[in-house]
Amino acid sequence: MTKAGNNSIDHLGIEDLLCFSLYSANHAMNRVYKPLLDKFGLTYPQYLALLVLWQEDNQTVGQMGERLFLESNTLTPLLKRLETNGYVSRKRDPEDERQVRISLTKSGKSLKKETGSISVCIFEAASMDETAITRLKNQISSLRDNLAQSAT
């Protein structure tokens, strides 16, 4: 029995669940990012999409979706908002008109440097040393891969 003696194996409190730690930590992360991204008129998922484009420009919606684990029903509206805000352009690929290529505008590219300090803020907010962060990241990523595997 744990602490108060009222948590048997099948009566786990929410604070004892891995899923809830993930859920709440992800929201906490979002709350740290929000004020930092507000300055640029970006949401957290929009920022992630830009990170993907800063790695490799001119990707298709599908390629971005693979990297972000998202599909067009989520990405299309998000990318349209980034387009409206002038950070990306969306063009049908002339080679294959089914695909839409997303490319960074000048303003989208310059955002990479302007947002550079954000990662430092997150690192400080995490209050963990770099090797611990890397280890934790790897464990969470492999948990994700296990979960995704099982959802096949």
Partner DNA sequence: TGCGATTTAATCGCGCACGATATATTTAAG
Partner DNA sequence: CTTAAATATATCGTGCGCGATTAAATCGCA
Query: In whole angstroms, how far apart are CA 71 and each of 7, 112, 113, 138?
Result: 39, 24, 28, 24
- Which position among 10, 15, 97, 124 is part of the footprint of DNA (CB under 7 A)? 97
CA gap 63, 52 in Å, rounded: 10
Say whether residue 90 binds DNA (CB under 7 A). yes
Q: Is 9 helix (H, G, I), strand (E, B) or coil?
A: coil
Which residues in the 4-63 window bind DNA by CB under 7 A?
23, 27, 30-31, 34, 43, 45-46, 60-63
Nearest distance from residue 1's CB to DNA, in Å?
30
Q: How many angstroms separate the CA atoms of 81 and 65, rounded?
A: 16
Residue with smaller CB distance to DNA, 72 or 134: 72
Give yes or no for residue 79 binding DNA (CB under 7 A): yes
Q: Is 5 in the site for a second copy (CB under 8 A)?
A: no
Partnered with residue 24 across adjacent β-strands are none
Closest residue by Cα to residue 61 from 96, 70, 106: 70
Site for a second copy contains 78 (CB under 8 A): no
Q: Which residues of 38-50 are buried (b: 16+ CB within 10 A; e: fewer)?
A: eebebbbebbbbb
Tokens of 39: 């300055």
Least distance (Å) between residue 100 CB and a second copy: 20
Minimum CB distance to a second copy smaller for 72 or for 92: 72
Eight-class DSSP state of 16? G
| Span from 50-58, 69-77, 105-113, 138-146 in contact with DNA (CB under 7 A) | 69-77
CB of 67 to DNA, least distance (A): 12
List residues near DNA by CB under 7 A: 23, 27, 30-31, 34, 43, 45-46, 60-63, 65, 69-81, 90, 95-100
